[in-house]
Chains A and B, each alone.
Chain A
Amino acid sequence: MTDTRDHLLSILVRDEPRVLTRITALFGRRGYNIRSLSVGSTEHPGVSRMTIVVSGDRGVVEQAIRQLEKLHDVVRIIDHSLEKYVDRELVLVKVAITPESRVEVRQIAEDFRSRIVDVGRHALTFEVTGDEGKITAFIEQMRPFGILETMRTGRIALTRGSNADIPTHVYHEGETQALQPTLEVQPREERARHVPNLF
């Protein structure tokens, strides 16, 4: 059961004070660790969109979703693991350079289609956009030269396809996947061998 993975959730919320606190507090209180969080406005006035990466097994994430669905501020939740999606993250990476390493560092950046956003005598700052794999690979390539600072925006995601924002897994539309019944019945545990019978 402890198949701990990262889960990517999009949460559409009313754009009101304390919304962020309400949502993060819900994760915090239940001990679910948020690995990344990004928030921005949407095409609908008054609605913001959060992308949250939370790690945990399927059960943990489903419980989180159902608790989130109860919040008055939450308009819709999309669990991207149930859909095809695109995701991106933007990272700024400041890499130390020496006269000798300069060319090699630039070459690697080019291979990754990364842009230079700042040039210093001892450091170059790159902007990289991509999915998690690409960004991790970029950072790993640069690591030997000396990474001075990094800043990541956190992941953002959209469902693929033309009706991308009307996913099947939406708020108010019937039961979540987790509510599908499982009919096979197993005793949850062998009865404890020893039943204390003291009196």
Chain B
Amino acid sequence: MADNGKQHAPHRGDMTGAKALWATLANHGISTVFGYPGGAIMPVYDALTFYPEVRHVLTRHEQGAAHAAEGWAKATGEIGVCMATSGPGATNLVTGLADAMLDSVPLLAITGNVASHLMGTDAFQEADITGITLPITKHNYVVRDVEELPLIVAEAIRIARSGRPGPVLVDIPKDIQLAAFHGEIPAPHARPEAPAPSPESVERALELLRGAKKPVIMAGGGSLDASAEITALARAWDIPVITTLMGLGAFPSSDPLWLGMPGMHGSVAANRAISEADVLLGIGLRFDDRVTGRVSGFAPNAAIIHVELDAAEIGKIIRTHVPVRGDAKQAAQLLAEGAQPTPRPEWKAQIEDWKSRTVTPETYGAGYAVKAVVDRLRPDDILSSDVGQHQMLAAQLARFEKPRRWINSGGLGTMGFGLPAAIGAGMAEPGVRSVVIAGDGGFQMTAQELATLKMYDVRNVKICIINNSFLGMVRQWQELFHEKRYSEVWLGDSNPDFIKLAGAYDVPGYRATTAEELPAAIDAWLSDPKSALLEVVVPHEHGVFPMVPAGAALYEMIETEPVRSPDLSAQMQDAAEEASEA
């Protein structure tokens, strides 16, 4: 790190495509880029030395770079940027791009490519990355003329951030990076105004809400920036609020109106409320199948109001009675202004009853450990998760008072997401604790990013591994639906000593194996001045409940961890089959 040449390179003359790229990024206020160099992007890395105002973070894998950029974007709401060389570098970004696409994360990916005249010839390290990423980007470009490069990058940033955000890829052949550039570096596009919902649609929504006896609000990832307005709306109408996995934090968990998360591992209150509601006001969500369960059984009695920016989402999965197309913030505000709260004592009593059915993990296990950790979080802390049981447990048990404090891979369910995303978020907000909960399986998919922590001396990332020696979520399904045939999910014998592994990167490690050891281990881990790792060794066979079996409707949810009996899996199988036939 000592001498990377940046200090010695104030001269930026001889503008090339590569320099024009950095100048454009700098002009757009991009302060950090996560990436990994290679032959086809070397001119860009060379030009980087002339732009000390942009920090490049060298991850240990391009997937890590993409997820770190996502973590950055999810925590800040600003665009994340990642970069890779051609061929293998570019294809390593693919998982992150798909992840960003499904979770609507504004992301700019820059890839190098072989020289223009070699493109299409199967040249060394050539991959048709724009072809490959066509279905998993909002848009993508190959730069064919150096004079267009900055305009394309500016346009890519605009597309990534506008409307429903998403990933945009810009592929730059090596000769274009090297070519002389004579044009102007463009100023950023103004952030486009989100379209206002039509007054008619708002009026129809108000009409429905006024007549509602059992209303419920459901807020998704698209409502995070409308959190204040949604909170005001819910309180003005006195309507209970459900936040989806992606929407956690859009409404304060401490508010008595909050019912938790809906869907496959949703709360009893959320799923029952959806099933009983007569009006469901969905804001900024896309009715993912993990949320709806069997579609025909979703909110079977409800008139559905769907507030959504992306017209293609309206009516895509769920029939909408009142579509409100436009900005969630403005819509929520307009709906709040028309509030006419009516007392609904029966609905409230019903909801209180469901809320009392929340299960707190009493015995030592994954849920107990996750709860012990999340109970120690401060409202400002960012909590990331990897994918698996620990993710669902964290989503169920953590409490969020504000938006953009919960970072996880919702749409793609990408194992390996957690650590790099937490690093990206931690680097975006160095003054804030960035805690990540991971499983022993997923952690090992991107564990090499411990090196990134070490290299940049990141001090605020706190890693918690819930070690159940299994690919727990798959094991749970095998237990329930495949008669306990635990095919290829046992990790125990081959897991590394996670503390030693962390130690190899100078990351201090702590371990707890019992409920008694847990509090002290958490304290030591969180109070360590450096980024640190905590391994919690838990019993092998705990499940996540409540659970709605795949293909079942939300009201067919299994509320608590069943007492294990030999014919349990057969019964559950029957339930799931019946549900999918119905």
Q: Which residues of A contact B (CB under 8 A)?
A: 17-18, 21-22, 25, 29, 59, 62-63, 66-67, 69-73, 174-176, 178-179, 181-185, 187-189, 191-192, 194-196, 198-199
B286-303 vs A, Cβ < 8 Å mask (1 yes, 0 no) = 000000000111101111
Contact B559 A179, beta carbon cutoff 8 Å: no
- Please name the residue on chain B nearest to A172 by beta carbon: B195
| Interface-facing stretch out of B61-69, B315-323, B499-507 | B315-323
Q: If A63-B316, A195-B555 touch, does A188 touch B311 (CB 8 Å cutoff)?
A: no
Contact B325 A198, beta carbon cutoff 8 Å: no
From A176, A178, A181, give the contact of B321 (CB < 8 A).
A181
Contact A195 B556, beta carbon cutoff 8 Å: yes
From A72, A175, A183, give the contact of B325 (CB < 8 A).
A175
Interface secondary structure of B, over-half rule: mixed
Q: Does B571 contact A (CB under 8 A)?
A: yes
- Residues in A neighbouring B323, C-beta threshold 8 A: 175, 179, 181
- Residues in A neighbouring B571, C-beta threshold 8 A: 196, 198
Q: Does B563 contact A (CB under 8 A)?
A: yes
From B135, B201, B579, give the contact of A192 (CB < 8 A).
B579
From B135, B297, B560, B562, give the contact of A29 (CB < 8 A).
B135
- Please name the residue on chain A nearest to B159 by beta carbon: A72
Q: Which 7 A-B pairs have the closest CB atoms?
A: A66-B312, A196-B575, A185-B303, A72-B139, A189-B296, A192-B582, A179-B323
- Residues in B neighbouring A189, C-beta threshold 8 A: 296-297, 300
From B201, B310, B560, give the contact of A70 (CB < 8 A).
B310
- Residues in B neighbouring A59, C-beta threshold 8 A: 315
- Residues in A neighbouring B582, C-beta threshold 8 A: 192, 194
- Residues in B neighbouring A70, C-beta threshold 8 A: 138, 163, 310, 312
- Please name the residue on chain A nearest to B156 by beta carbon: A72
Q: Does B204 contact A (CB under 8 A)?
A: yes
Contact A183 B204, beta carbon cutoff 8 Å: yes
How far does the Cβ of A56 sit from chain B's closest Cβ, in whole Å?
14
- Residues in A neighbouring B163, C-beta threshold 8 A: 70
Interface residues of B in 66-109 (CB under 8 A from A): none
Contact B321 A182, beta carbon cutoff 8 Å: yes
How far does the Cβ of B111 sit from chain A's closest Cβ, in whole Å?
15
A-B contact pairs, 22 of them (CB 8 A): A21-B131, A21-B134, A25-B135, A62-B315, A63-B312, A63-B315, A71-B139, A175-B323, A181-B323, A184-B321, A187-B300, A188-B319, A189-B300, A191-B300, A191-B555, A194-B582, A195-B556, A196-B575, A198-B562, A198-B571, A198-B572, A199-B560
Q: Does B198 contact A (CB under 8 A)?
A: yes
How far does the Cβ of B219 sit from chain A's closest Cβ, in whole Å?
21
Interchain CA distance A22-B321 in the complex, whole Å: 31
Interface secondary structure of A, over-half rule: loop
Contact A17 B142, beta carbon cutoff 8 Å: yes
Contact B204 A181, beta carbon cutoff 8 Å: yes
How far does the Cβ of A68 sit from chain B's closest Cβ, in whole Å?
9
B122-166 vs A, Cβ < 8 Å mask (1 yes, 0 no) = 000000001100110011001000000000000000010001000
- Residues in A neighbouring B159, C-beta threshold 8 A: 72
Q: Does B412 contact A (CB under 8 A)?
A: no
- Please name the residue on chain B nearest to A184 by beta carbon: B321
Q: Which residues of B contact A (CB under 8 A)?
A: 130-131, 134-135, 138-139, 142, 159, 163, 198, 201, 204, 295-298, 300-303, 310-312, 314-316, 319-323, 325, 553, 555-556, 558-560, 562-563, 571-572, 574-575, 578-579, 582
How far does the Cβ of A83 sit from chain B's closest Cβ, in whole Å?
20
- Residues in B neighbouring A69, C-beta threshold 8 A: 311-312
Q: If A18-B130, A195-B556, A199-B560 touch, does A72 touch B138 (CB 8 Å cutoff)?
A: yes
Interchain CA distance A62-B314 in the complex, whole Å: 11
How far does the Cβ of B534 sit from chain A's closest Cβ, in whole Å?
33
Interchain CA distance A183-B204 in the complex, whole Å: 8
Interchain CA distance A191-B299 in the complex, whole Å: 10
Interchain CA distance A88-B561 in the complex, whole Å: 64
- Please name the residue on chain B nearest to A178 by beta carbon: B315
Contact A188 B575, beta carbon cutoff 8 Å: no
- Residues in B neighbouring A63, C-beta threshold 8 A: 312, 315-316
Interchain CA distance A178-B138 in the complex, whole Å: 23
Contact A67 B312, beta carbon cutoff 8 Å: yes
From B134, B319, B574, give the contact of A18 (CB < 8 A).
B134
Q: If A178-B315, A187-B300, A189-B297 touch, does A198 touch B575 (CB 8 Å cutoff)?
A: yes
- Residues in A neighbouring B300, C-beta threshold 8 A: 187-189, 191
Interchain CA distance A72-B322 in the complex, whole Å: 27
From A22, A72, A185, A192, give the contact of B553 (CB < 8 A).
A192
How far does the Cβ of B17 sit from chain A's closest Cβ, in whole Å?
19
- Please name the residue on chain A nearest to B302 by beta carbon: A185
- Please name the residue on chain B nearest to A194 by beta carbon: B578
Contact B325 A179, beta carbon cutoff 8 Å: yes
Interchain CA distance A63-B315 in the complex, whole Å: 8
Interchain CA distance A189-B318 in the complex, whole Å: 13
Contact B558 A181, beta carbon cutoff 8 Å: no
Interchain CA distance A189-B574 in the complex, whole Å: 21
How far does the Cβ of B130 sit from chain A's closest Cβ, in whole Å?
7
- Residues in B neighbouring A66, C-beta threshold 8 A: 311-312, 314
From B302, B310, B322, B556, give the contact of A181 (CB < 8 A).
B322
Interchain CA distance A182-B208 in the complex, whole Å: 12
From A17, A174, A185, A196, give the contact of B556 (CB < 8 A).
A196
Contact A175 B322, beta carbon cutoff 8 Å: no
Q: If A67-B312, A183-B322 touch, does A22 touch B134 (CB 8 Å cutoff)?
A: yes
Interchain CA distance A31-B298 in the complex, whole Å: 24
How far does the Cβ of A14 sit from chain B's closest Cβ, in whole Å?
11
From B134, B201, B298, B559, give the contact of A199 (CB < 8 A).
B559
Q: Apart from A175-B323, A188-B319, A198-B571, what 8 extra A-B contacts exist at CB < 8 Å?
A: A18-B130, A66-B311, A71-B139, A175-B311, A181-B201, A191-B300, A198-B572, A198-B575
Interchain CA distance A110-B575 in the complex, whole Å: 67
- Residues in B neighbouring A198, C-beta threshold 8 A: 558, 562, 571-572, 575
- Residues in B neighbouring A191, C-beta threshold 8 A: 297, 300, 555
- Residues in B neighbouring A194, C-beta threshold 8 A: 578, 582
Interchain CA distance A156-B8 in the complex, whole Å: 62
- Residues in A neighbouring B320, C-beta threshold 8 A: 181
- Residues in B neighbouring A21, C-beta threshold 8 A: 131, 134
- Residues in A neighbouring B295, C-beta threshold 8 A: 188
How far does the Cβ of A16 sit from chain B's closest Cβ, in whole Å?
9
- Residues in A neighbouring B303, C-beta threshold 8 A: 185
